[in-house]
Structure formats: structure tokens, C-alpha cells
Structure 1
Amino acid sequence: MEQKEILKGIIPPMITPLNKDFKIDRKSTEKLVDYLIDGGIHTLFILGTTGEGPLISKAEQFKLAKFVVEYTEGRVPVIAGVSAPSSLEVLKNIENLNESGLDGYVSTLPFYDKTNLKEEIKHFEILAAESELPIIIYDIPVKVGQRLSEKALENLVEVDNIIGLKDSSSNLRNFRERVEKFRHKKDFSFALGHSDMIDISIYLGADGVVPSDVHLFPELCVEIYNNAQKEDWIKARKLQSELNKKRIELYNSFPAQSRANNKVCKKHLKAKGIIASDYIMAPYI
């Protein structure tokens, strides 16, 4: 498998099925993996934001990664979030997952103190140098407290073992500028992390999309992507509008305190009988 393929297509930021003791629910995880793969997705992204990765113990992180890789049996690539407040803590997460058989790691900037330009670059250079698997940069200002700077990205696209960017910055103009500026880098991929813009993502040059709503409507998300790939923009736009309407109706059906993506996804998946419970890592409800 080429590294570029890891960030191509529809990439679910998979929720983590939990029991009431906050341990991994293996049976539910099996059903969820099959449900997503049967829906046509291209890569599984575990332990990310929607997957509550930083909230889960290292022991359970490893159990989940190893189990998902083994159960998937190579049907699709599996990548995992390893984000933490410091570079050294990210490296500990990588070391913890090293024997699980993953295809790559995804990391944000550190998220306790803000970093300057040199520190942004240094963080990912450290990860790229120490990791045996490829590193994907995750730009999500709402969780980290700052955006990845353009100057940092300009440097990092040239670093060996850094293969792509998952952009969840909610800035389409900036995303377009990033793609156009670095489109010539054939070994560097771009994915957008927004469910309501799958068609636009591909139109702007993204290789893949990481939509949490793929938990709710997997076939529809994949169909939007497939039509966008074929440059049938009218069909893709029509399907995207259908998805957006459905997602708004579904999200509005839940109480305001349950509007976070992973909470709604878990409640919906439980109602469909795919997972056994909708537990969220304590103290969140």
C-alpha cells in the first residue's frame, strides 16, 4: 500500500465503543468496524477527537488499536491518533502503539501551552524522526488553541516521514490555499475534517475527507465522494445537500447537551443496534 492511499477517500474518525467501566467493548467494536467497511469507507482513523483518544488510558488505547487491526484483517488501512500535551508524551503514545500493526499516526500540535513557529516545526520533526510509521499532521484549533502556521506547514511538507495534513480548521479559503500551494508534493496528501463539505473538499483538491457523520450515513458519504471523484458535481452537490439536511434533523433531535459529534454518533449507533451502549469517557455525559 502506498502511503498516499492512507489519506484517500472517506476516513471515519471512528468512535470508541465503551462499556460502563470505560473499557473497550470488543463486540460492539467488531460490529462497528464491519458496518463502516461494508458502507464502503477507505481508511479507519481510531483514537482521534471523535474517538476520545486523549481521554482513554494507554492500556485501552493499545487494546483498541491491536484489536481493530487484527479484526480488520487488511481490508482497509488503520491509523491512530497519538496527540498529547508535549512531544515526549506523543512519543510515549507512539511507543505504546508500536506493536499493534497500525499504518500511521495522527498528531496535533501540543495542546497545553501555545507553541511558536520554531516549536511547531520542532514538534513534528521530532515525531517524524522517532516514528517508524508515517506521521499525519492534524490541524484542529478548537482543541489545540491555535492554528498550524503556514510557515510551519511550508517547512513540514519537506520533512521525510510526514505524509499529509488533516485540516479541521474550518477555514475553506485557507485550505484551498494550502492545497494549491503544495499540490506539487506528490507524496503529501490533504484531508478535510468536515462532514458538510465532502463535495467541496474534493473539488478543492483534497485526497480524502474525515467526516464524523459517516457513522450516521456511511453509504451516503461514500456516494458523495465517489461522484465528486468522477467530477459529477451536480450529483455530488445534490447528495451533499441530502446529507446536510439529514444530519441537521438528526442533531436537532438530541438534547443540547448531547450535541457533540461523538455523543450523537454513539446515541444513533446504539439506536441502530450497532453498539451496545452510548457511554462517553468520564466525566462527560
Structure 2
Amino acid sequence: MTLDIHGIIPPLVSPFTADEQPDLDALRAEVRYHLDLGAHGLCVTGSTGDGQMLSLEDSVAIARTAVEETKGQVPVIAGIIQDSTKEVIRYGKAIAETGVDALQVTPVHYLFQPDEDTTVEYYRRIADETGLPIVIYNVIPYALIPATTVARVMNEIPSVIGVKQSGGNIHQLADLLHMNPEGGKVFTAVDDLLFPSYLMGAEGAISATLTVVPELCLAQWDAVQRGDLETAKELHNKQLPVWRAIDGPNMTARIKVALELQGRNGGTSLSPLTPVSDAERETLRAALVAADVKLAS
């Protein structure tokens, strides 16, 4: 199944109103913001979008809004974070009707980790029954899919077109890039190591830092593509403190504050996420200032 995904694909936040309803106007503004900067694709309802907390109805509304606002300019990928094949397929079929280009799917992970054959069959069923290209979202630290299994899934299932390697595991990413699976592309979500990920051969990134400081991430990607490694390294050193500031408990709440500080509307956070403290807010502000990111007056 052919779908050209590459480069900088920000995973958007899911803005919510004070009564915990999707704020679709705020989402549209974020979609336009990233499109205007030149993002190569967009991802919704992933971890940065609180995908694990979303109802099917909210997931569909967010995906549909992103597709409508994007108007086919770039691919739109929708995340599904559920814990049974049946639920993933139920979400996937409903989201497919919105016109998204692909699904980003975590392995099941509550209390156990399936073996290799079960994992292969899991992704095969999802691809077959939803009819959409699939990106493996390899993020769950205690249920990480081994690199050999990821490569097998991509090589055996044509509709599995890539993997987003997350969980802070540069070693797993290195193994995947070394294996160079023929069936799909390897994307990095190791936020503090985006620069070396590109040098090792990652074909793009789908990670939270891209959403918070997309200008820096797009500039870094472009610098690597033209071989300007000194500029790419300088941008790495600007991005790193921003990642350190957003990484931690209640990360999506921190990300929304980082957007607010820039004059962007990420909406409120869903319960039971803890509100960001004054000290955390100042840490975020200082990191953005140090990165030369323009803040709202």
C-alpha cells in the first residue's frame, strides 16, 4: 500500500473545553499553524493528543476535523491506543470513515505482552479489517515490541508502512535502522536524540517536541537534508531544554502550557491530569526563551 510519509510529522494536542468537550476550533487553528510552517504530515489522537483517554466519538470528531482542515495538503495519521484487537478495529473502522490516510497503533499492553506470532496477527487483522495503512507505535516501555518482530510485521504485512520508535530507546531505533525492513519506514520519537536519529537514517520524526517548537524541528530536518550538520547541532541544543521541560508526569498538560506561552490555544487538559504548577510554568518559559522561541506578549 503506497503512502508517502516522511519528514516532520507533529503529533497534535487534543484541545478540550472546560467541560471536557473537544475544542474543534482550537484544533483547526493548530492544524493551520503547522501547515503554514510546512509540516510534512500531521498526527492526531496519539499520546500527545491524549489518545488513551479519548472516547470513540471524540477520536472521530478530532480526526474528521483534522482531515477537513488539512484539505489533502499533507497526510493525516490518527492514533489508536486501546487494549484489545476488537477495540482497535472498532475505533479504526470509525476513524477510517473520516478520510484519514493511516492509523498509528500501539501494541496491547495492559498487564501482559503478546508473543511474536500474536503480535504479527494483531497487526494483520487491524490492517485487513480497517483497510488503512498502519504505523506501529512502539512506545510502551514494559511491552516494547522487539526490533526483530517489528521488522517481521513490516516485511510480512504490506499495509504496515512504518514504525514510530519511541520510549526513549535509541538502541531499539538503531537496531531497526540496521535491519532496514523493506516493508516500511522507521520514524524516531526519541525526542532528545532527533539529530542523531536522522544521521542514522530515520526517515522522519513523529514526536512531542515537533508540536511544541515546530519551527526549530523543521529547520533542523532541512539542515540535515542539505548536510549542514553544524546548524542541525545548534538546533539540537536549543530543542533539548524544551524537551526536558515538557518531559515528565502530566506531559500533555505541560505541552498545552508551552503552546499557551506562545499564544497558541491547546485547550484545557482532561481529568485526572494534574494542572501545571507555577514553577513548572516558569521552567517551560525559560526553556522557550533560551530556544529563541517567540512568546506571547
Name the TM-score, length of structure 2 as normaliser. 0.86
* CA displacement at 1:247 relative to structure 2: 4.2
1:194 aligns with 2:190: yes
Q: Which string of whole-angstrom CA distances, capped at 9 and with x for unpartnered residues, describes residues 47-101 of structure 1?
A: 0011011211111111111111001111211000122101111000111112101
Task: Determine the structure 2 residue equivalent to 1:33.
Answer: 31
Structure 1: segments with no counterpart, 5+ residues: 253-257
Instruction: Report the count of equivalent residues.
Output: 272
Whole-Å separation in 2 of the counterparts to 1:105 and 1:77: 11
Decide which of 95, 105, 108 is 1:107's aligned counterpart: 105
Partner of 2:257: 267
Post-superposition offset of 1:191 = 0.4
Q: Using the alignment, how far apart are the partners of 1:131 and 1:283 within structure 2?
A: 31
Determine whether 1:127 maps to 2:123: no
- How far apart are the structure 2 equivalents of 1:105 and 1:246? 28
**CA deviation map 1:226-260 (0-9, x unaligned):** 11122222221121112213444x549xxxxx753
Q: Distance in 2 between matches of 1:54 and 1:276?
A: 17
Task: Give the alignment of 1:135-214 within 5 angstroms.
Answer: 135-142=134-141, 145-158=142-155, 159-182=157-180, 185=182, 187-214=183-210
Runs (4+) off by over 6 Å: none
Asked if the contact 2:81/2:105 (under 8 Å) is kept, the reply is: yes
Name which of structure 1's ranges 149-158 and 262-271 shifts more when overlaid on structure 2. 149-158
Aligned to 2:286: none
Q: Is the 8 Å Cα contact of residues 41 and 76 (structure 2) preserved in structure 1? A: yes
Q: 1:20 and 1:267 mapped to 2: Cα distance?
A: 15
The percentage of counterpart residues that share the same residue type is: 25
> CA 1:263–1:276 in 2, change beyond 3 Å: closer, same or farther?
closer
Residue 228 of structure 1 aligns to which amino acid in structure 2?
V
- Mapped to 2, the partners of 1:139 and 1:281 lie a distance apart of 24
Report 1:20-99 matches (<5 A): 20-99=18-97
**Counterpart AA for 1:274:** R
- For 1:246 and 1:131, locate their aligned partners in 2 and report how far apart those are by CA, in whole Å: 37
SS at match of 1:69: helix
1:113-151 deviation line (CA, Å, top 9, x unaligned): 321222212211111222211011111123xx2110233
Q: State the Cα deviation string for residues 151-194 of structure 1 (Å, max 9, x = none).
A: 322321221211011000322122112112125x1x51010112
- Partner letter of residue 139 of structure 2? I
The residue that corresponds to 2:271 in the other structure is 282
Give the 3-state SS of the residue equivalent to 1:157 in structure 2: helix
- 2:249 and 2:261 map into 1 onto residues whose CA distance is 16
Aligned to 1:255: none
Q: State the shift of 1:220 in Å.
A: 0.6
> Would the aligned equivalents of 1:40 and 1:218 in 2 still touch at CA under 8 Å?
no
Q: In the aligned structure 2, how far is the partner of 1:264 from the partner of 1:174?
A: 27
Contact 1:198 1:224 (8 Å CA) reproduced: no
Distance 1:80 1:276 in 2: 18
CA distance in structure 2 between the aligned counterparts of 1:69 and 1:114, rounded to whole angstroms: 33
The answer for unaligned runs of 5 or more in structure 2 is 275-297
User: RMSD over aligned Cα, in angstroms?
Assistant: 2.0
Assess, with a 3 A threshold, how the Cα gap between structure 1 residues 93 and 179 changes in structure 2: closer, same or farther: same
